[in-house]
A and B are shown apart, each in its own frame.
Chain A
């Protein structure tokens, strides 16, 4: 992975949301939709996918630009992240636990074979089955029988690797059943009200039968049911997507095809855009943050994305326990002038945070109880810090903010530290790790010397995706060691709530608990920054920061 790519909240994968970014402007481009002669090939700046094109393997944005256009799931997300049925006719449940999904007729894969309930069942079982080692296997965790397709504790050696010759108890999950060609029944281990919301994510796409004959070959030449087919893949250079004639959904293709051009450097993609060699860039380089909206005019987009940047505070770091620790976390948060940093360092390409989710997520809020801790307030910050000093002195050690240094995090850590130094009167330093995996390793092994940067991009447009995986007790990305029974209980309650609005209120209450404990200090939301050339029209960037490629028009 290149440093460039990490710039935008590494690690995360992308896909959809449910809400409202109309206010943020920049959205549409042009009004001459469907003028009938839009047959040009749209070129889009991208990068080399990091995995074979198999939906349950694709956990990064380069690959997901391919999967989301080559495959169609049960649902899809529109620009605002609102869920629409795609292959599904209906998704219903009485108790949020047993879901009955009926499929539309007439869907086929591009090789002509039909899309049936079995296509989903087999694909999901493949993704969940531990020996297949699929990157996104944990998305099937809520389905009943998931543990049966994993290795049992006694099948693993002391390092956690499966022993020779051992296989899981079952190859299929008991909670999945193809009742008929067009009816799929999914039984979850426990109620999950936002389950339908997740079904547009890459992990839940169907696969044709031919996949199971030779997954490796499929990864090079995938066959899907989406609006495009993958025509050619010149590694490290270009991926050609061409319209899929057999596509039966609503994401109707408005152009002659899409070429995803691989770049390793955002600056070069942007310069190619300026020179007219590229139609769409999806990431504006830092060097152009201050100029791109002027240079591109109404062909620029700068709107909040489903990405939040946080400074996390590990429980094990000295000085951050108990009452004094909480006071310090609050003091640090109030010592950061988010408005000033986002404006000066990022030239407005970040939006100051007001909660733990993102403005593109349904349920986002800027008036949560306790979020005044995110306001810049140097006097109060100093007062809280002094109060903590009275309980337990900090000493002479600098406060460290750790991050990987292979992408440009120094640009904001330096001024943030300057602010902390001036406000709190302590030393503050950037603790730089040369590579991302070294940084992760230090986090996993509790070797971080102070605070550390965390970036999170939503997989699917739901509040739960921003909370459970990061702050839940023992969750995969909870490297802070944070554990709150109250918070966990609130998440469970929200997951079981059938009424979406009531669930949102519960997630807000859960965030109030986070504001009280402050295991992480929200900084800002990344914006989707992009632009397009004069050759294309109707470019809209979705909730997931990716343009909706199928509706872009380009005349030849």
Chain B
């Protein structure tokens, strides 16, 4: 049972200051319109977002990346893996090769476009797996506490023990081909523990809030409170972590490839190109610029989108 903080004297060194009700100016309290039908938190968030230019900018950036991932061939007549001639290795940008060519003589522009699909898939799939698994376990552990928390948290600990290189070698040998899905599974298998911990921490700090107590008093079921109130209010760190993680997962694929346990070598990906570009780092570091820039563009889109969503879910931030 959460304690009522109004009954408690602040602990020494504990700087929480609670103003008496009469000290608080009425104007700053959120205005409530009695005429309108109660709207759901999610719908309100959408209404808020659709008025923000940042939302449309980030949505457009993500759309660009998604379209390129689906039909990369629409933006170039060249293919990433054919017509590569060693004779035209490491050419500077020209009208024929607008980003130039890599060491194997392949067109970097085409490779960057065609690399989007695998990289974005790895990023999005891994993030989805991690978020679904991690938040579920973390939220249940944090919210229900007690033995539930103990068991779930210790399972998380056990999984944390698995080094991802080992997981990668084992999982990649079981799957018939090393697709983006397989690599996403590898990355998710060790990545979900972090987000589980973060969710648990966020839920722990939210579940003692007044509105949770109030909902309980109103007779809402525990599961409903968790879903309708606790989770949306714990969403900020989850959203922030996962948008940044999306980028780090795409890069992690590069590291896996670098260690020889990444995507199937026939798959074009930004990570793969970063990894092969490393051997040109002393002479032609510029060839790594393009996959890295594409990756940064994608991550920026998701980070901005995450910011907008977070703002929209935060009723206090919304009013200003």
Contacts and interface: CB of A to CB of B under 8 A. Distances in A.
Direct contact of A and B (CB under 8 A): yes
Interface of A: 3, 286-291, 337, 340-341, 344-345, 404-408, 410-411, 413-415, 418-419, 421-422, 429-430, 432, 434-435, 438
Contact of A434 (B86, B103, B261, B266): B261
B82 A421 contact: yes
B168 interface: yes
A287 B169 contact: no
A344 B276 contact: no
Given A405-B265, A434-B260, A287 B81 contact: no
Nearest to A404: B260
B52 interface: no
Nearest to B83: A422
B259 interface: yes
A410 B86 contact: no
Contacts of B95: none
A345 B86 contact: yes
Find the residue from A340, A418, A434 having the highest chain B CB count within 10 A: A434
Nearest to A432: B265
B172 interface: yes
Contacts of A429: 265-266
B183 to A, nearest CB: 12
A532 B286 CA distance: 29
A438 B282 contact: no
B279 interface: yes
A295 to B, nearest CB: 9
Interface in B261-278: 261, 264-266, 276, 278
B276 A434 contact: no
Nearest to A6: B260
Interface in B234-287: 259-261, 264-266, 276, 278-283
Contacts of B261: 405-406, 434
B104 interface: yes
B279 A411 contact: yes
Find the residue from A340, A345, A432 having the highest chain B CB count within 10 A: A432
Contacts, number: 76
A3 B275 CA distance: 14
Interface SS of B by simple majority:
loop
B173 interface: yes
A407 B261 CA distance: 11
Contacts of B84: 415, 418
B13 interface: no
Contact of B103 (A337, A345, A404, A406): A345
Contact of A340 (B87, B266, B278): B87
A404 B260 CA distance: 8
Contacts of A405: 260-261, 265
Contact of A344 (B89, B168, B266): B89
A8 to B, nearest CB: 15
A56 to B, nearest CB: 31
Given A345-B103, A407-B260, A286 B279 contact: yes
Contacts of B168: 434
Given A414-B104, A422-B82, A434-B168, A287 B282 contact: yes
A208 B43 CA distance: 85
A434 B172 contact: yes
Contact of A414 (B83, B259, B265): B265
20 contacts: A3-B260, A287-B279, A288-B282, A291-B282, A405-B265, A406-B261, A407-B260, A411-B103, A411-B276, A413-B265, A414-B104, A414-B265, A415-B104, A418-B82, A418-B104, A419-B86, A422-B82, A422-B83, A432-B264, A434-B261
Nearest to A290: B283
Given A287-B279, A341-B86, A406-B261, 5 more contacts: A344-B89, A405-B260, A418-B81, A432-B264, A432-B265
B154 to A, nearest CB: 30
B265 A434 contact: no
A432 B272 CA distance: 13
The 6 A-B pairs of least Cβ separation, nearest first, read A405-B260, A430-B265, A406-B260, A286-B279, A340-B86, A344-B86
Contact of A438 (B173, B264, B266, B280): B173
B282 A410 contact: no
Find the residue from B84, B105, B282 having the highest chain A CB count within 10 A: B282
Contact of A415 (B86, B172, B259, B283): B86
A337 B259 contact: no
A430 B266 contact: yes
Nearest to B106: A418
A344 to B, nearest CB: 5
Nearest to A430: B265
Contacts of B86: 337, 340-341, 344-345, 415, 418-419
A406 B104 contact: no
B316 to A, nearest CB: 50
A70 B282 CA distance: 37
Contacts of B265: 405, 410, 413-414, 429-430, 432
Contact of B173 (A345, A406, A434): A434
B304 to A, nearest CB: 35
Contacts of A435: 169, 260
Interface in B144-181: 168-169, 172-173
Contacts of A414: 104, 265, 276
Nearest to B256: A434
A149 to B, nearest CB: 38
A314 to B, nearest CB: 20
Nearest to A292: B282
A430 B173 CA distance: 16
Nearest to B279: A286
Contacts of B83: 422
Contacts of B283: 290-291
A400 to B, nearest CB: 10
A473 B283 CA distance: 46
A524 to B, nearest CB: 14
A291 B169 CA distance: 34
A408 B172 CA distance: 18
Contacts of A3: 259-260
Given A415-B86, A418-B81, A344 B103 contact: yes
A413 B86 CA distance: 12
B273 to A, nearest CB: 11
B262 to A, nearest CB: 8
A265 to B, nearest CB: 12
